[in-house]
Structure 1
Amino acid sequence: MPMTSAAERRPTIMEVARLAGVSHQTVSRYLRFDGAGLKPQTRERVADAIAKLNYRPNLVARSMRSRVTGRVAVVMPSLAFNPTRMLSGATRAAHEAGYQVEVISPEGGAAARSTRILELADARLVDGILSFSTVDEAANNLPKGTVLVVSPEFDDEMRGIGDLADAAPVAEMIERLAESGHHRFLHIAGDRTFASARARATVFTETIARLGLASVGIFDGDWSGESGIAAVEAIRSSDRPTAIIAANDLVATGVLRAAHQRGWSVPDDLSVTGWDDAPGSEYLIPALTTVNTKIEQIGSNAMARLIGRLRDEAPVLSTEPINRVIWRESTGVAPTA
């Protein structure tokens, strides 16, 4: 015999309000903004009532009634790269504005992302959508009232583009090393299918030419420590550079090891720079000169633009440079000999 006891019935927001001794509007505000703006005692009473009743909001029904969910979606390409820091910046900005965040990573390229974005918009489960990669024209056919912000920081393979491909620090490092007497440079590039690797190689070539310095060449690496070792092993003694600009910190660690094996002291005989400010790079011997990228800032600025659109307000964006050179012990004055 089918059972229809009250235990199976889903508790309502009105029951939560009665148990907490508040209005249903207060409960709704608690759910939408995670308690932000309510008095501590009120937040505690509502939270206790929700827990006692095991209340779960019907998000579909709520969004159909009000077309406001208090939720936003972040769409990423397939996660071949760990985007934790950028997502941290985006989610922190959303939470500070009272929004919950759903992260979605559909398989496929721009067409697949656009299809998923349309599904989210049609279901009215989120107020706005932030995509960190490109979408196709289908995403232009969103239902009225749906806000989409595209901040293309990655391509379909999670390779950095946009601000992540800014190579200006390469020029800054070469310029400062040149002021310290360096005149022969080698660049160990990353995988050239990455826009960032291509940009750094281009800036390296242009800066060397602009300053009238000598280039030992560009070694095509693959972001690995092994490519740093291979590049140093391939240098002829007669062509030894005074400074090596490595594609990232991992490549630079390979350079440090290979230089040591060849009897070259860093930085006395050879200056070395990396990129990424990877954890532990400051503890290497010598500590590695590198580039710190504020990936969290990219995420928070992108989310701020979405929230600004949702609220019809000008977004408050951080204008600090994304990249900053951190000078440490692996760089110094050029050798005199």
Structure 2
Amino acid sequence: MSDHAGRRPTIVQVARLAHVSHQTVSRYLRHNGGLKPETVRRVEAAIEELGYRPNLVARSMRTRRTGRLAVLLPAPALLLPTRLLSAAAVVAHDAGFLIEVVSIEGGPRERAGRALELMTSGQVEGVLSLSSLPGLTDQPATPSRAAFAVVGEYDDELHGIGELADASVVAEIVEHLADLGHRHFLHVAGPDAWPSARARRQVYAEVIERLGLVSHGVVDGDWSAECGYAAVRALPGTSPVTAVVAANDPMATGAVRAALDRGWGVPERLSVVGWDDLELGRFATPSLSSVVVDREEQGRVAMERLIALVRGEPEPERTRLPLNRLVLRESTGPAPVLG
């Protein structure tokens, strides 16, 4: 049995197993860099074998660092961006930080004041806000204030804005379907209170007009599968509509179900495209053509930027794919020839 069994492994044990000094292990844990790749490999292998985790309390007493980061949400937060938060948490934990999610009530200025209080409280080393706050922009840590970074892709009700509301892929959807011979379309829209829904509705109308296609209506939806189902069930039996562009996957799934209930094959009679690329749609029959929204990448990039600000390091360079990307699957195909 190893000499560390039953006890919390120490940095000295990690150093001994990796055949390096404890100062080298400490340097690795501080992410100071400059270590040889072989040294990094041995240290990481020793940490993994021992199950070593830094003692954040002791580190805080020595360095005045807390090892904690905060993610700010406007309150009440009824729809949490769980995929973004999960990806951000993984990045934080891998870097040796704990994170806590803080929901702050009030208007933007009140939340900005509360954010400043948190940044100067000494309780956290960095603050990541999902919505923009007046007077606060990305800033590195100082001896008296925590670092701050903002995602800026959500409004005060956590509705997607900015790149999350970019609807340019709707044009790509309609153009692709038009290339397949589709000329008659229906759009099942999201609630008008959502910037993303308004943008998708607007781009849909613009591209239909630009390409000389025919829209047989825009159905006001509520993001539910029932809404998509009702929209397709309401089409006349002789409707020339052969393509449905839905503003999210649940409404698209409802549209597919309604088509099948009417005896309309998908995509043989009706092509359907959704948005969000939910897992259920990928495994449905037929699998759903949709728009991937890479919220995980958004969370990773934001947290990496915050950690760089905390440490006074340059933001890591990475090649970012577009946040929204069309993925074609079984629910779309060539336009049928209707009698």
**Distance in structure 1 (CA, Å) of the matches to 2:276 and 2:335:** 24
Most deviating of 175-184 and 274-283 = 274-283
Per-residue CA deviations over 1:10-45 (Å, capped at 9, x if unaligned) read xxxxxx889999999789768867xx9683697599
User: Measured at CA, do residues 317 and 125 of structure 1 come closer, stay the same or move farther in structure 2, by a change above 3 Å?
Assistant: farther
Asked if structure 1 preserves the Cα contact closer than 8 Å seen for 2:60 and 2:67, the reply is no
Structure 1 gap segments, 5+ residues each:
1-15
Per-residue CA deviations over 1:28-79 (Å, capped at 9, x if unaligned) read 768867xx968369759997899xxxx77267755xxx45444332222344
Q: Quote the residue 1:113 is aligned against.
A: 111
Q: Match for 1:74: what amino acid?
A: V
Q: Quote the residue 1:331 is aligned against.
A: 332
User: Measured at CA, do residues 57 and 185 of structure 1 come closer, stay the same or move farther in structure 2, by a change above 3 Å?
Assistant: same
Aligned pairs for 1:72-151 within 5 A: 72-78=69-75, 79-96=77-94, 98-109=95-106, 110-137=108-135, 144-151=144-151
Q: Quote the residue 2:251 is aligned against.
A: 251
Counterpart among 39, 43, 54 of residue 39 in structure 1: 43
Does 2:68 match 1:71?
A: yes
Asked if structure 2 preserves the Cα contact closer than 8 Å seen for 1:186 and 1:218, the reply is yes
Q: Secondary structure at the match of 1:275?
A: coil
User: Measured at CA, do residues 316 and 113 of structure 1 come closer, stay the same or move farther in structure 2, by a change above 3 Å?
Assistant: farther
Aligned pairs for 1:6-25 within 5 A: none
Q: Quote the residue 1:298 is aligned against.
A: 298
- TM-score normalized by the length of structure 1: 0.79
Asked if structure 2 preserves the Cα contact closer than 8 Å seen for 1:286 and 1:329, the reply is yes
Judging by fraction of residues, say which structure has more helix: 1
User: Measured at CA, do residues 42 and 319 of structure 1 come closer, stay the same or move farther in structure 2, by a change above 3 Å?
Assistant: closer
Question: How many Å apart are 1:120 and its aligned residue?
Answer: 2.1
Structure 2 gap segments, 5+ residues each:
1-9, 32-38
Asked if structure 2 preserves the Cα contact closer than 8 Å seen for 1:60 and 1:124, the reply is no
**Distance in structure 2 (CA, Å) of the matches to 1:151 and 1:105:** 15
Question: How many Å apart are 1:290 and its aligned residue?
Answer: 0.9
Q: Match for 1:236: what amino acid?
A: P
**Distance in structure 2 (CA, Å) of the matches to 1:47 and 1:285:** 43
Q: Secondary structure at the match of 2:279?
A: coil
User: What is the CA RMSD across the aligned residues, in angstroms?
Assistant: 3.4
Q: Match for 2:88: what amino acid?
A: A
Q: Quote the residue 1:163 is aligned against.
A: 163
Does 2:312 match 1:315?
A: no
Per-residue CA deviations over 1:161-218 (Å, capped at 9, x if unaligned) read 1221121221111101000100011100011111111111111011111111111111
User: Measured at CA, do residues 175 and 61 of structure 1 come closer, stay the same or move farther in structure 2, by a change above 3 Å?
Assistant: same
Q: Secondary structure at the match of 1:232?
A: helix
**Distance in structure 1 (CA, Å) of the matches to 2:236 and 2:124:** 60
Does 2:245 match 1:222?
A: no
Q: Secondary structure at the match of 2:69?
A: strand
Most deviating of 261-270 and 311-320 = 311-320
